[in-house]
Amino acid sequence: MPDETTTQLGMEDIHDIRGPLIPTSLLWYIFPFLILLIILTSFFLLRRKKKSILNFKETLLTPSERAFLELERLKKQELLTKGDPKKFYSFLTEIIKIFLMQHFHYNAPEKTTPEIRNDLAHHKPLTNFYQNLMSLLERSDLAKFTSQMTETPLARKDMEWTYEFIKNTGMGEPSQ
């Protein structure tokens, strides 16, 4: 109720004063964001867990099993039928070098073909495979670093030889 002085001066309330903000009405604005945050967090955590499970399974593989898995992946890419021997030989030599590193504890991925030739010339577990391994690495260097095209049957033979190499050298415990 306005007092007499305010009515005499013509002053009256323009509008009603709002009451204090009720916390429950604030929750209606925050609640959807909280739900969205929970959904996104759970999605990312589950996705991360799935990746770590897959990586864990791959870490349990022996070097030869891992190499066979990578060879199968290479085969499924069908790089030879697509006419890309450069990529094919890049992946094939990477598989071989990683196998040499993991199985024989030899740092092959960091070395060139001539360095590998010098280092493995007298490595006993590889004497039976040495010449074929060097031929394959040299062919792959030609395919990767020059415009020389490798014949598809020869590349398939190299893939088969790699299977045999890993199968025969990967048996048993890794060599020192």
Averaged pLDDT, 30-54: 82
CA 10: distance to chain centroid?
78
Q: How far apart are CA 95 and CA 100, in angstroms?
A: 9
Cβ atoms of 95 and 64 closer than 8 Å: no
Q: Provide the 10 A C-beta neighbour count for residue 23.
A: 7
| Residue for token pair 């323009």 | 14
CB-based contact 71:64 (threshold 8 Å): no
pLDDT over 60 at 57, yes or no: no
- Distance (Å, whole) CA 6 – CA 2: 7
pTM for this predicted structure: 0.62
pLDDT at 175 (0 to 100): 46
Model pLDDT for residues 122-136, shown as the tens digit of each residue:
777 677 788 888 888
The pLDDT tens digits of the residues spanning 81-117 come to 887 888 888 899 999 999 988 888 888 888 888 888 8
